[in-house]
Chains A and B, each alone.
Chain A
Amino acid sequence: MTPTTDRTHRTVDVLVIGAGPAGLAVAARLAAAGVDRVEVLDREQHAGGVPRHCHHTGFGLRDLRRVMTGPDYARHHIAAAIRAGAVLRTGVTATGWAAPRTVDITGPTGLERITATAVVLATGARERPRSARLVPGTRPAGVLTTGQLQQAVHLHHQSVGRRAVIVGAERVSHSAVDTLRRAGAEVVAMVTDQPRHQTHPACHLGTLLRHGIPLVTDATVAELTGRGRLESVRLRHRDGRTAAVACDTMVFTGDWIPDHELARSAGIALDPGTRGPAADADFRTAAPGVFAVGNLLHPVETADIAALDGRFAAAPVLRHLTGVPWTPGALPVRVEAPLLWVWPNRIAPGGPPPPRGRFTLRTTRFLTRPVLTVVQDGHTLHRGRLPRTAVPNRPFHLPAGWLAGAAAHGGPVHITVD
C-alpha cells in the first residue's frame, strides 16, 4: 500500500481541544451564546476528562453549587455541552498544526484539517511518572500514577497489587488510597518529602484513624527493587537514614505537569513556573486566536476551578469572534523560590483583572502567614501578609488590586516571599 496523507478540510467557529470540565464548560457557554459551530475534540473514547475516573465525591462545589462523584460530574458537563448545541467528538486526536488556528486531526474516519476562528486548548495535565522524577532502581511492574491506577480499577476492573506505598500526601494521594482500598490492596505507607501532609486536616485524620496508614514525612524514594514485579522500596529520610518497605505496588501521585505538547508545537511560549502556555487573565496566549483554559494553565486546580475557567473564557472568546484585535497581556508575572508558580502569568496593566479578582499561587514548602511582595523594576506594587499558612500542593491567592499600578511598558513583575 502506498502511504497517502490526504486530509479533508473543514472550518468551524471554535475548536476546543480536550473535553474535560474546562473544555466542555467553555463549549457549552459559547454554543449557548449562539456561536454557530463549536466543536469539542477528545482523544479518549469517552469525554469527561480526569473526573471520569475519579469515583470519589466532592466534584462541582464551586461551579454547580452541589457535590457529586467524578463520573456524575463528567456526565453533567457532557450533557450541558451537547444540550447547548456544541458538537462533541471523541476518539480523535489533534496531532499538530498545519497553519495558525489550523489543526491536523487523526480519527477512525480518516485524517482531517480543521481551521477555526478561535482555538481553545483544554488539554489538561498529567502526573509526573517515576522516570521523570528520576527515582533510581530497577524497572519492575507495579509502579504507576494515580491516573493509571484509577483507570485500571474504575474503568477496566483490573487487579492491582496487595501491598502499596503511595508517594505524596495531598488531595490526589488520598484519592489513590481510596482506589487502592476499593481494589483490595493494603496501603502500607504514604511518603512525602514535606514535613507534614498537605490535605484538609479532617481528610488526613480520616485516613490515619480509619485506615491506620502511617505517614512518612521528610522522606523521598531512594530506590525501587524487584525483578518482574516490584518487591520493595527504600525510603531515605532527610537526615540520611534509610528504611526498606516491602510492597508490590507504588503509586506516584501529584507532581503535575501540563499536557502542553500541542501548545508548545504551535510555538507558544511556556511559563517557567506552570510549564503551561503563558496566558493572560482573558486566557489568551501569544498566538492570535489561541486560548488556553483549565489545568493546562495551572497544574493543578480542582475540576470545578477548571470548569470555571471555561465559563470565564467564554466572554473573551466571543469578543475575539466579533473581530476585536488580538492584544493579549504581554507583561510577565514571575515568582521566586520557594514559590512555584502564579496564574495568570501574563498581565496587561489597565486590562482585565484575573477571574474572581485574584492571582492563584503555589509554594514548594509550608509558609506560615507569609509576607508577599510584588515588585516591578524595583518599585513595590504591593506588600501584604497572607491571613493563613500557604501549603504546598494547595492553592493560595493574592488579591489583584495592585494590577492598576503596574507600568505597561515596564519590566517583568516579580512576586517574592520574605
Chain B
Amino acid sequence: MTVTTTGDLPDEVHDVAIVGAGVVGTAIARELARYRLRIALVEASDDVGNGTSKANTAILHTGFDATPGTLEARLVREGYQRLIAYAAETGIPLEPLGALLVAWDGEQLAALPALAEKAARNGYDETSVLDADAVYAREPHLGPGALGALEVPGESIICPWTTTLAYATQAVRAGVDLHLNCPAGAITTGGDHHEIATPRGVLRTRHLVNAAGLYSDEINRRLGHEEFTVTPRRGQLIVFDKFARGLVDRILLPVPTALGKGVLVAPTVYGNVMLGPTAEDLDDKTATGSSADGLASLREKGERILPELLAEEVTAVYAGLRAATEHGDYQIHADPGRRYVAVGGIRSTGLTASMAIAAHVVELLTDCGLDPGPEREIEPVRMPTIGEAFPRPYQRADLIAADPAYGTVVCHCERVTRGEIRDALTATVPPASLDGIRRRTRALGGRCQGFFCGAEVRAQFEAATAAQDRTAQDRTEARR
C-alpha cells in the first residue's frame, strides 16, 4: 500500500503505468488492480482528482442525449449502471433526483420530442414530455415563462471528489503505487518498455496508459500520435447556500439548441444548489479562474430559471476546464505496437463513464499484449459519508458514543467533526493541502469559507503533517 509524494521512484519495470490520477486514471488503476500486476499511477499535482475531475457539474448522466452509436454513448450508458452499483457499495454520495429539460421558447419546446426519440435510440425509454402545468407542479419556484419540459427521471447527482478518492483508495490498498508530484516528461519507447522521465527519476513500464486529461494530447504526441488536440473549455459555476436547496427538487437542464447549451441549476449532494456552467473555449490549460463577465452571465440566466435563487448567499465560485477536442466523441485509441493506450477527449460525461472507460481500456491493453492473468477479488472500500442523504457523523449517537471526536463539530457551516478531519488526515490517500481536506470532508467548504474554522482546520492539518514528518524522520534514522 504505497502513496509517495517525494523521493525517487522505484527502480523496477512496471506492467502498466497510468499517467494522470483524475477520475479516469484512478478508475483504470482500480480496474487493473483486480489482476496481479505491477501498476504505477503517476500524477503531476499533489492530489488525486485535482484537475478537471474536481470542478465539474457533479451529475451522473443517463446518457439520454449522447450521439447514438458513439463510443461515448455506450460508455456513458454502461458507466452509469456501474457507478450506481459502486456508489451503493462504497458510500459515494448519490441522489437519483431526476432532471427536467425546461423549454423557455417555442424552438426549445419543439425540440423535446426529438430529444425523447434520441434518448430511446440511446436505450433510455423513461423520458416523458410534460406540459407547463406539470412542470410547475413539480418545480413551483421555477421562473415564469416555462412552456414545458422533458422529464428524465434517471439523471442523478453525485459527489465527484468521493468517487475519485474511492477508486484511488481501493487501487492503492490492492497494491497500486500512487506517485504524486510526479509530472511526466520525455518518453522513450523501446522494444520492451517505455521510460518516462519525471523530476523524481525514470518510470519504467511495459504498458502505458495516457489519462492525462487536459494534457493528454501532449503525452499522445510524445508517443508519435496526433489524433486529437485538447482545447480547454472553461465552465464557471456558482454554488449557493443551503437555504436555496428548498427552491429546487430536480436537476434543471437546458434544452440544447443551435444557439448553445445554456446553463443548468442543480442541487448538490452536500445540500447546496449550483448554477452553471459557462462554456468558453480557451488556449490556456491553467485558466481556472472565474471572470466578472462569466459570473454576470450566469446570474442573468439563473434569474430566469429560478428567480429566488439569486437572493440567497453565494457559498463558492469555481471554474473547471473540460478536455474538449475537435472530435465529437471520446478519443480512446490503442497502439499495440507501442503497448500504449490513449484516453483523451473525455468531456463532462467522464465522471459517469469512468468505470466503463476503465473496463474498455483493460480490454484494449490485452489487445496490446498485456496478459493480466486471473482476476482476483479486491477488498471493498467504504468511504466517509459526506453527503446529506444519509446521517452524517454529527447526527449519529452510536459513533459519538464510541468516539467523542465525532461529536465535536469543527466546521460549523458544513457540520464537519474533529473525528472526520482526523480520519481524512490519516486515510490511505491523505490530503496534501487544505483544499484536499475540503474535498474529503467538506470542512472549509461552507458559507463562511473559514471565518470560524479556517485557523482551527489549518492547525489540525499542520499538526498531522508535522507528525507524519516526524514518523518519516524516525524511520530514516532507524534504517541508519
Interfacial chain B residues near A12, Cβ < 8 Å? none
A146-181 vs B, CB cutoff 8 Å, 1 = contact: the mask equals: 011001100110100000000000000000000000
Interfacial chain B residues near A261, Cβ < 8 Å? 243, 447
Q: Does B27 contact A (CB under 8 A)?
A: no
Instruction: Compute how far the CA of A145 lies from the CA of B447 in the bound complex, rounded to whole angstroms.
Output: 12
Instruction: Compute how far the CA of A139 lies from the CA of B412 in the bound complex, rounded to whole angstroms.
Output: 22
B292, B318, B405: the one contacting A108 at CB < 8 Å is B405
Q: Does A372 contact B (CB under 8 A)?
A: no
A151–B456 touching, CB < 8 Å: yes
Contact A137-B289, Cβ < 8 Å, known A93-B412, A126-B448, A132-B314: yes
A1-18 vs B, CB cutoff 8 Å, 1 = contact: the mask equals: 111111100000000000
Contact A107-B407, Cβ < 8 Å, known A129-B449, A141-B434, A145-B450: yes
Additional pairs, 13, CB under 8 Å, beyond known A110-B407, A156-B458? A3-B391, A3-B399, A4-B397, A107-B407, A111-B400, A129-B449, A132-B314, A132-B447, A136-B291, A147-B448, A152-B458, A158-B459, A261-B243
Q: Does B404 contact A (CB under 8 A)?
A: yes
A130–B449 touching, CB < 8 Å: yes
Interfacial chain B residues near A93, Cβ < 8 Å? 394, 409, 412, 415
A131–B400 touching, CB < 8 Å: no
Nearest residue, chain A, Cβ from B299: A134
**7 nearest CB pairs, A to B:** A129-B449, A108-B404, A151-B455, A148-B454, A152-B455, A108-B407, A147-B451
What distance in Å separates the Cβ of B273 from its nearest Cβ neighbour in chain A? 14
Contact A222-B292, Cβ < 8 Å, known A111-B395, A264-B243: yes
Q: Does B290 contact A (CB under 8 A)?
A: yes
A152–B454 touching, CB < 8 Å: yes
Most buried by B among A5, A108, A141, A155: A108
Interfacial chain A residues near B400, Cβ < 8 Å? 106, 108-111
What distance in Å separates the Cβ of A409 from its nearest Cβ neighbour in chain B? 29
Instruction: Compute how far the CA of A257 lies from the CA of B413 in the bound complex, rounded to whole angstroms.
Output: 14
B434–A106 touching, CB < 8 Å: no
Interface range, B side:
35 or more
Contact A136-B289, Cβ < 8 Å, known A95-B394, A131-B317: yes
Instruction: Compute how far the CA of A404 lies from the CA of B386 in the bound complex, rounded to whole angstroms.
Output: 53
Most buried by A among B238, B243, B294, B407: B407
Contact A110-B317, Cβ < 8 Å, known A148-B455, A156-B455, A222-B292: no
Q: Does B288 contact A (CB under 8 A)?
A: yes
A5, A109, A130: the one contacting B395 at CB < 8 Å is A5
Nearest residue, chain B, Cβ from A43: B412
A131–B454 touching, CB < 8 Å: no
Q: Does B286 contact A (CB under 8 A)?
A: yes
Most buried by A among B243, B394, B404, B451: B451
A selection of 25 A-B contacts at a CB cut-off of 8 Å is A4-B398, A5-B397, A93-B409, A95-B394, A106-B394, A106-B400, A108-B404, A108-B407, A109-B400, A110-B397, A111-B400, A126-B448, A126-B451, A131-B314, A134-B238, A134-B295, A136-B294, A144-B450, A144-B454, A145-B451, A156-B459, A158-B458, A158-B462, A223-B289, A223-B292
Q: Does B137 contact A (CB under 8 A)?
A: no
Interfacial chain B residues near A91, Cβ < 8 Å? 408
Most buried by A among B318, B397, B404: B397
Instruction: Compute how far the CA of A223 lies from the CA of B88 in the bound complex, rounded to whole angstroms.
Output: 41
Q: Does A127 contact B (CB under 8 A)?
A: yes
Contact A257-B313, Cβ < 8 Å, known A91-B408, A131-B449, A147-B451: yes
Interfacial chain B residues near A43, Cβ < 8 Å? 409, 412
B396–A138 touching, CB < 8 Å: no
Nearest residue, chain A, Cβ from B404: A108
**Residues 79-96 of B at the A interface (beta carbon under 8 Å):** none
Q: Does B114 contact A (CB under 8 A)?
A: no
Instruction: Compute how far the CA of A155 lies from the CA of B458 in the bound complex, rounded to whole angstroms.
Output: 12
Interfacial chain A residues near B394, Cβ < 8 Å? 93, 95, 106
Q: Does A274 contact B (CB under 8 A)?
A: no
B397–A126 touching, CB < 8 Å: no
**Residues 418-472 of B at the A interface (beta carbon under 8 Å):** 433-434, 447-452, 454-456, 458-459, 462
Q: Does A225 contact B (CB under 8 A)?
A: yes
Instruction: Compute how far the CA of A108 lies from the CA of B406 in the bound complex, rounded to whole angstroms.
Output: 7
Interfacial chain A residues near B407, Cβ < 8 Å? 106-111
Q: Does B478 contact A (CB under 8 A)?
A: no
What distance in Å separates the Cβ of A146 from its nearest Cβ neighbour in chain B? 8
Nearest residue, chain A, Cβ from B315: A131
Nearest residue, chain B, Cβ from A146: B451
A136–B454 touching, CB < 8 Å: no
Q: Does B401 contact A (CB under 8 A)?
A: yes
Q: Does A356 contact B (CB under 8 A)?
A: no
B290–A147 touching, CB < 8 Å: no
Contact A151-B447, Cβ < 8 Å, known A108-B404, A136-B290, A138-B288: no
Interfacial chain A residues near B451, Cβ < 8 Å? 126-127, 129, 145, 147-148
**Residues 115-140 of A at the B interface (beta carbon under 8 Å):** 126-132, 134, 136-139
Interfacial chain B residues near A241, Cβ < 8 Å? none
Interfacial chain A residues near B404, Cβ < 8 Å? 108-109
A151–B291 touching, CB < 8 Å: no
What distance in Å separates the Cβ of A382 from its nearest Cβ neighbour in chain B? 30
Q: Does A227 contact B (CB under 8 A)?
A: yes
Q: Does B258 contact A (CB under 8 A)?
A: no
B373-405 vs A, CB cutoff 8 Å, 1 = contact: the mask equals: 000000000000000001100111111111011
Most buried by B among A1, A4, A136: A136
Instruction: Compute how far the CA of A136 lies from the CA of B287 in the bound complex, rounded to whole angstroms.
Output: 12
Nearest residue, chain B, Cβ from A139: B318
Nearest residue, chain B, Cβ from A236: B292
Instruction: Compute how far the CA of A329 lies from the CA of B142 in the bound complex, rounded to whole angstroms.
Output: 34
Interfacial chain A residues near B398, Cβ < 8 Å? 1-4
Interfacial chain A residues near B409, Cβ < 8 Å? 43, 93, 106
Interfacial chain A residues near B247, Cβ < 8 Å? none
B458–A145 touching, CB < 8 Å: no
